[in-house]
């Protein structure tokens, strides 16, 4: 029996277990493609279930999966924001410590390219960005992405094509 077959009025522990068994792996993978850190993805996926349980009285059973993914996505975004602040602080500290770079021209070019790449990826339309990262970072096939996002393979192909086109034109690279 899967979660959708159990339609009682309120979410209970049995429902939570069914939700966990049915969706935990895909939620963890969903977070992993956003973060690139399996340990953080595991922690955030577990935290999403805790927050879901705490809000169970507000949850409509038919939207439980969507609600779980929304919680997980929000937690992942908060994690990313936090890490950006930490990274900025570390970079300022490194500059203050007076670290010398072995090849400043190479490091400058590398930093510029990485910055351009990050900016371009962040400027992709959300749906195209999601498909691009799932394919290129997580290594999922179009069929797997289609299944996970519950859209057609043609939609995945179109989103990926749009992402690659934007990346090619903005970065002038061959992807």
Please state, in angstroms and rounded to a whole number, the distance separating the CA atoms of residues 98 and 101. 10
pLDDT at 62 over 60: yes
Q: What DSSP character marks residue 165?
A: H
pLDDT at 97 over 60: no
Maximum distance among all alpha carbons in the chain? 64
Contacts of 156 (CB under 8 A, 6+ apart): 131, 142, 145, 146, 149
Is residue 84 classed as helix, strand or coil in its secondary structure? helix
pLDDT at 61 over 60: yes
Q: Which of 28, 68, 29 is CA-nearest to residue 51?
A: 68
The pLDDT tens digits for 108-141 are 877 888 888 888 888 889 898 889 888 888 888 9
The pLDDT tens digits for 139-162 are 889 999 988 888 999 999 999 999
């Amino acid at each position: 029996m899967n979660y959708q077959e159990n339609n009682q009025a309120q979410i209970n522990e049995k429902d939570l277990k069914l939700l966990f068994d049915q969706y935990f792996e895909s939620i963890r993978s969903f977070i992993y493609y956003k973060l690139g850190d399996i340990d953080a993805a595991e922690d955030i996926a577990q935290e999403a279930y805790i927050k879901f349980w705490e809000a169970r009285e507000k949850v409509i059973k038919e939207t439980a999966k969507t609600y779980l993914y929304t919680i997980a996505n929000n937690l992942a975004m908060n994690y990313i924001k936090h890490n950006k602040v930490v990274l900025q602080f570390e970079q300022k500290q490194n500059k203050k410590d007076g670290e010398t770079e072995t090849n400043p021209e190479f490091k400058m070019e590398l930093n510029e390219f990485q910055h351009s790449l990050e900016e371009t990826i962040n400027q992709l339309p959300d749906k195209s960005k999601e498909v691009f990262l799932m394919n290129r970072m997580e290594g999922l096939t179009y069929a797997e992405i289609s299944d996970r996002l519950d859209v057609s393979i043609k939609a995945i192909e179109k989103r990926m094509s749009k992402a690659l086109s934007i990346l090619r034109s903005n970065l002038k690279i061959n992807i």
